[in-house]
Amino acid sequence: MKLNHYIDHTLLKPEASPQAIIKLCQEAIDYEFYAVCVSGCYAYLAAEQVRQSNVKLAVTVGFPLGSSTSEAKVQEAKIAIKQGADEIDMVLNIGFLKAGLTEEVEEEIRSVKSVIGDRILKVILETCYLSNSEMVKACMISEKAGADFVKTSTGFGTAGASIEHIKLMKQSIGGNMKIKASGGIRDTKTALEFVNAGADRIGTSSGIQIVSG
């Protein structure tokens, strides 16, 4: 197992500078990480850096709260793809989900997927705010709406990924859907535990540390 091929090398801090994004992309190329994950304002810059490499570009949408309008999320996704994104990591509307507005949540995910075509859509559930039954529901809605991945966390909630949540998510999706674990994964041992529990991708800012062991 090559752990580097599981890693989305991530920099989403609000104070992230253009120089830091360039460094992130160079590290991803050097360590052969699967992707870099950046905020929308850096989509074009990151796309320029990784263009000649095998590293994919993932860009966040509706991040980190998930509470922007569906129209805004759709526009964000459109712009990110136009600027070179290969994947979109969107935060679902957590408040709507908890209020039982499942049709609205599903429609939003479907709308974003429809404008990005065959590119990968990851739906961030922010599991720290959800009960187990809400998590199961979020997984089912995401799958029904055509998303490719469900993802645990933004890294900005009250807690990150947990092995229990990965196992629950795994049980709640079909064979074609994948899981991204993110939030608090900072060493080799932890990363391996998540992969063994069913994570197909690891979102982390500690990628170098993880692969250097």
Residues marked active site are found at 89, 151, 180
Cβ atoms of 185 and 206 closer than 8 Å? yes
Residues 6+ apart with CB under 8 A from 45: 18, 21, 22, 38
**Residue 127 one-letter amino acid:** T
Cβ atoms of 6 and 202 closer than 8 Å? yes
Phi/psi at 121 (5° precision): -115, 120
Pairing of strands 178-182, 149-151: parallel
Pairing of strands 178-182, 7-11: unpaired
Residues 6+ apart with CB under 8 A from 178: 148, 149, 150, 200, 201
Size of the chain, expressed as the number of residues it contains:
213
Say whether 34 sits in a helix, a strand or coil: coil
Show the tokens assigned to 196.
């063994």
Cβ atoms of 60 and 12 closer than 8 Å? yes
d(Cα 54, Cα 5) in Å, to the nearest integer?
Answer: 11
